[in-house]
């Protein structure tokens, strides 16, 4: 029996591929400036959301509540933007009763690997699509009360449990474990009340998450491939935090959930909220700069989406990270939205990330390497916009740029509506339908 997950080193010097995997420079004896990075979070109270005792049961709620679905059922045929949001869900090829998923024995990301004598190339897109399919079918079941959608979604998840035994590749294995771990967990949480899901099969699904994804999530957050803890960009830490939290919820493991929200506040990686959002310009400006803002905008937007997911998952458990550090996430949204969807300028604090390399400003609009430049549409804005506007009652003045971004993207679709590659699946989407109030 192979290990549950495996990591195959396949580095290229000074090369950044996928979502930013780079060579472990310290291990090669190459001097870096990582330890010279000025960290913004040394003199603040990091633990602002208290961890509950491990004996406290988890709430049986994931990223969406029954209140969300009641609101959608009421408005989906009579009021915008729910009419259009629901129509987009219905028209998605992923949300149909007959849509199948195609599980693989090993989810491979970053580099081809040899398994049982055969070369297996990257196939992570199967997992990205598989999680999106189950999620969209689950949404239709919850909205339409048609058990055929739930039956198909459960059938698809069961196929993954019965087939997939690990994640592998190069160090990008951590991205696969983080992104698809949280997405499968969210889909499963939505379906856990479906009476047609055999209890033994649901238990097998929980164990699958705990064996295939969670060990890799924890390994990255603790060991991060034996690199300096600031070596990997923020999106790496954030997706593994999201997966840890989501898996903790669906498996009813408060201890695992606590690991996620603790790292989000005080962990050593750039997944810590006050490192992912690197520099806070308040009170002078209603802005906060992302760690990846000087790198490229694709990964910056990925971070916005992942922090939104983490905040919403924790919100379902009564933990408010939207309010963390006086609405720090809101200022991060305003900063990223201004950079991406206007021609206005923003303040920028130099970020040193490698010897002789530093970011002195926002990545240029024509940036094409890795993550891309401005004006990309990502299904990430409705979640924070409607939370801060309708739940926190934040003024339009404070949400100026987030509103611009929300309107620019328009009614959000999900997997299958955006890029066909990994970036189009970094979040599950349909935020307008699910979060508009």
What is the DSSP secondary-structure string of 100-145?
-----SEEEESS-EEETTEEE---HHHHHHHHHHHHHHHHHHHHH-
Beta-strand pair 288-290/118-120: unpaired
pLDDT at residue number 35:
58
pLDDT at residue number 10:
27
Q: DSSP string covering 311-372, please?
A: HHHHHHTT---TTHHHHHHHHHHHHHHHHHHSS-------EEEETTEEE-SSPPTT--STT-
A 10 A CB-CB count for 374 gives 19
What the block records as the tokens of 190 is 């939505």
25-39, pLDDT tens digit by residue?
333 333 345 555 666
- Do you know the residue count of the chain? 437
Share of the chain above pLDDT 70, in %: 87
CA dist list (Å): 128 to 71, 104, 420 = 28, 12, 10
The H or E element that residue 186 is part of is helix 173-191
pLDDT at residue number 62:
92
Which is more confident, 364 or 31? Answer: 364
Backbone angles phi, psi at 107, to 5 degrees: -80, 120
Task: Identify the band that residue 43 occupies on the pLDDT scale cut at 50, 70 and 90.
Answer: low
Task: Identify the band that residue 409 occupies on the pLDDT scale cut at 50, 70 and 90.
Answer: very high
pLDDT at residue number 38:
63
pLDDT at residue number 7:
32
pLDDT at residue number 372:
60
pLDDT at residue number 4:
35
pLDDT at residue number 23:
31
Q: What is the DSSP letter of 414?
A: B
**What pTM value is reported for the model?**
0.91
pLDDT at residue number 329:
98
d(CA 141, CA 153): 9
The H or E element that residue 91 is part of is helix 82-91
133-160, pLDDT tens digit by residue?
999 999 999 999 999 999 999 999 999 9
Is the per-residue pLDDT at 42 higher than 80? no
Share of the chain above pLDDT 90, in %: 79
80, with CB counted inside 10 A (0-12, 13-18, 19+), is exposed
Of 294, 431, 401, 407, which Cα lies nearest the Cα of 337?
401
Task: Identify the band that residue 360 occupies on the pLDDT scale cut at 50, 70 and 90.
Answer: confident
Mean pLDDT confidence for 233-243: 97
pLDDT at residue number 419:
80
297-356, pLDDT tens digit by residue?
999 999 999 999 999 999 999 999 999 999 999 999 999 999 999 999 999 998 887 666
d(CA 190, CA 65): 9
Query: Any residues with CB less than 8 A from the CB of 353 and at least 6 apart, and which?
Result: 33, 34, 37, 295, 359
Mean pLDDT confidence for 110-118: 94
pLDDT at residue number 236:
98
Mean pLDDT confidence for 251-260: 98
């Amino acid at each position: 029996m192979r290990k549950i997950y495996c990591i195959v080193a396949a580095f290229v010097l000074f090369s950044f591929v996928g979502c930013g995997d780079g060579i472990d420079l310290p291990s090669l004896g190459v001097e870096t400036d990582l330890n010279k990075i000025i960290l913004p979070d040394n003199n603040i109270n990091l633990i602002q959301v208290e961890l509950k005792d491990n004996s406290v049961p988890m709430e049986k709620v994931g990223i969406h509540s029954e209140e969300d679905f009641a609101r959608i059922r009421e408005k989906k045929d009579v009021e915008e933007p729910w009419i259009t949001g629901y129509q987009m869900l219905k028209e998605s090829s992923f949300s149909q009763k007959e849509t199948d998923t195609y599980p693989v024995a090993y989810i491979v990301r970053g580099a081809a690997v040899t398994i049982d004598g055969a070369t297996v190339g990257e196939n992570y897109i199967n997992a990205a699509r598989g999680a999106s399919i189950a999620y969209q079918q689950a949404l239709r079941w919850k909205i339409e009360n048609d058990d055929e959608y739930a039956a198909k979604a459960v059938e698809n998840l069961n196929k993954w449990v019965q087939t997939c035994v690990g994640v592998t590749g190069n160090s990008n294995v951590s991205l696969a474990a983080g992104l698809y771990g949280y997405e499968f967990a969210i889909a499963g949480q939505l379906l856990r009340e479906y009476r047609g899901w055999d209890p033994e099969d649901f238990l097998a699904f929980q164990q699958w998450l705990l064996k295939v994804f969670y060990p890799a999530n924890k390994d990255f957050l603790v060991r991060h491939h034996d690199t300096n803890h600031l070596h990997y960009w923020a999106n790496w830490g954030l997706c593994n935090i999201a997966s840890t939290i989501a898996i903790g919820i669906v498996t009813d493991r408060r201890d695992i959930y606590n690991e996620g929200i603790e790292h989000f506040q005080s962990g050593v990686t750039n997944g810590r909220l006050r490192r992912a959002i690197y520099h806070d310009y308040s009170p002078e400006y209603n802005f906060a700069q992302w760690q990846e803002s000087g790198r490229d905008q694709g990964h910056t937007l990925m971070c916005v989406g992942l922090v939104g997911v983490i905040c919403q998952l924790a919100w379902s458990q009564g933990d408010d990270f939207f309010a963390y550090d006086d609405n720090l996430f809101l200022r991060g949204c305003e900063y990223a939205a201004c950079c991406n969807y206007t021609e206005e300028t923003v303040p920028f604090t130099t970020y040193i990330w490698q010897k002789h390399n530093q970011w002195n400003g926002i990545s240029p609009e024509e940036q094409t390497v890795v993550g891309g430049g401005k004006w990309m549409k990502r299904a990430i804005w409705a979640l924070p916009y409607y939370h801060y506007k309708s739940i926190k009652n934040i003024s339009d003045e404070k949400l100026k740029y987030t509103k611009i971004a929300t309107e620019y993207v328009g009614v959000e679709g999900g997997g299958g509506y955006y890029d066909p590659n990994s970036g189009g699946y970094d979040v599950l989407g349909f935020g307008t339908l699910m979060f508009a109030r």
